[in-house]
Amino acid sequence: MLLAACGRETVAGDDPSSPDAFIDALMQRYAGDVPGAAVLVIRDGQPVFRKSYGMAELETGRPATADTHYRLASVSKQFTAAAILLLAEDGKLSIDDPVRRWLPSLPPAADAITIRHLLSHTGGLVDYEDLMPAGQTAQLHDIDVLRLLEREDRLYFAPGSDYRYSNSGYALLALIVGEASGQDFAGFLRQHIFLPMGMDGTYAHQDGVDEVPERAYGYSSVDGRWQRTDQSLTSAVLGDGGIYSSVDELAKWDAALYDERLLKAESLRMAFSPATVTPEPHAPHYGFGWRIDGDMLWHSGESIGFRNVILRLPDQRLTVIVLTNRNGPEPYDDAVKIADLYLPTEARLNPDRQ
């Protein structure tokens, strides 16, 4: 039923106070010949709003649709975490394994770091973005992140003693998936998550290896004009943000998080439970690949030319997904406003909204 309903885009009615009209007005900045967006609202397992705006590719005039695949950036981290949990269920690894068991070339400073620490951003690893040599012109891959960290026998803090959001940690998790499974990370995701979930067009994208269908290209506003800024030096690192997907395919992922068709109940519980406290706004806790704010599970994704968010309220059976192919604004606030349209007054995320 969800797939059938996902075949139709919502058309706003004449009532300016309706949720559809409110969302259309909210997303007006994405409409027309500009980098666009896709919005999907799922309530009780059914899409109640599904619409795309603007362009997936300005140069060809190709419009965005619900089938457009955006670079998820850090929304990818929930898939990296799921891959680790699947391997733990199969006995291929333990989340309490020392990271150096799988990546022994890391320096002694990393002795106490476990996979659990990487999942929850509590390992203290140095940010690989700060270790890139001046004059770097070739894109980095996950293995290059390891090579950079091999030369840094230091941490920001003792593992488990603090929180610092770490793209380095999730790049290493992708390498651990490869070591424990005997497959490359992208191939493992494809075989064990994407294809079983019917997410046929979702890839941990590798140039020259796969082709993203209906691909959105990223843009940035520079001096009042849109310029293509689709790739950066870090865009080929997969574990921290390299997955491309569409709102329709993310609806299948969302559905799988309500039952055990992919992960067992205990794995889902660990992913969705606070593993650490954070100083981040709207995210007092972090689980495994998910920010946690009370009953809300969410994650943003920001990279050059893309800004995204997935926001889930499992107790309310409500999910809001906003994917965009531009450098701003961040869509978190918009997603909260959209979610509040479908929540009872006492459950609204922004209680001040009238």
Q: What angle do CA 151, 153, 158 make, to 5 degrees?
A: 140
Strand spans (E) along the chain? 37-43, 46-53, 55-57, 62-63, 70-71, 203-204, 219-222, 225-228, 243-245, 276-277, 285-286, 291-293, 296-303, 306-313, 318-324
d(CA 169, CA 165): 9
Within 13 A of 128's CA, how many CA atoms are on the CB side?
26
d(CA 117, CA 168): 12
Helix 77-89 crosses helix 265-272 at what angle (to 10 degrees)? 140
Q: Are 88 and 132 in contact (CB under 8 A)?
A: no
| CB 51 within 8 Å of CB 65 | no
- Report the candidate in 289, 87, 79 with the shortest Cα–Cα distance to residue 183: 87
Nearest to 82 by CA among 221, 224, 261, 222: 261
Q: Are 139 and 235 in contact (CB under 8 A)?
A: yes
220: annotated active-site residue: no
Which residue in the list 52, 74, 76, 246 is annotated as catalytic? 74
Distance (Å) of CA 233 to CA 117, 230, 304: 26, 11, 10
Alpha carbons 87 and 263: distance in angstroms, whole number: 10
Q: Which of 39, 64, 327, 34 is nearest to 214 (CA)?
A: 64
Give bridge partners of residue 302 from the DSSP assignment: 307
Say how many CA atoms lie within 13 Å of 70 toward its Cβ. Answer: 39
Active site amino acids: 74
